[in-house]
Amino acid sequence: MRRLVLLAAVAAALVAGTARADVFEVVPTTSTALVPPAPAMPEQLDEAQLLGLWQGAGAQYGVPWQVLAAINKVESNFGRNMGPSSAGAVGWMQFMPATWMEYGIDANGDGIADPWNPADAIYSAGR
């Protein structure tokens, strides 16, 4: 239901011709993970933890782990700059909200598909 509400709001904004990077910030997100957690201090992982996530996601989805590492480096500098970007992308792998709603998964099993969570974001990028 939450996805439908968000997708309807995005579609309405696109039809109205108001394509702005902040359009996703005004959508009510009662429990979606498209708004940075408070406080917006990103979780930092060490090299071994990141390597494990890249390799696990790569193996599961048939993507070279180096590709996931490169995306992670370019998009968020390994979780140090998680947006939102000027285009509205968010989280560890800088997903656009509509893309996250389509491909985001709960990789860590906490019940929430969260682009701000490194496992969720990296596995979703592999997907």
The CATH number of the domain where 83 resides is what?
Answer: 1.10.530.10
pLDDT at 44: 84
Would residue 30 count as lying in a domain?
no
Q: Is residue 81 part of a domain?
A: yes
Tokens of 52: 């494990």
For 90, which DSSP code? B
Mean pLDDT of 44-56: 94
What is the count of structural domains for the chain?
Answer: 1
Q: The domain containing residue 64 runs over which residues?
A: 45-126
What are the tens digits of pLDDT across the range 62-117?
Answer: 999 999 999 999 999 998 888 788 899 999 999 999 999 999 999 999 999 999 99
- The answer as to whether 106 is a domain residue is yes
Kindly state whether residue 16 falls inside one of the protein's structural domains. Answer: no
Q: What is the pLDDT of residue 8?
A: 52
Scan for tokens 């992670």, then name that residue. Answer: 72
Whether the predicted pLDDT of 51 surpasses 70 = yes
3 domain-assigned: no
The predicted-structure confidence for 11-46, as pLDDT tens digits, reads as follows: 554 444 444 444 333 333 334 456 665 555 567 898
Whether 2 maps to a domain, the answer reads: no
Its pTM stands at 0.69
Distances (CA, A) of 25 to 54, 73, 84, 110, 114: 29, 25, 9, 24, 16
Rounded CA-CA distance 100/34 in Å is 9
Nearest to residue 115, comparing CAs of 87, 77, 76, 86? 76
In contact, 78 and 100? CB cutoff 8 Å: no
Task: Confirm whether 104 is domain-assigned.
Answer: yes
Crossing angle of helices 118-126 and 47-61, rounded to 10°: 30
| 99 found inside a domain | yes
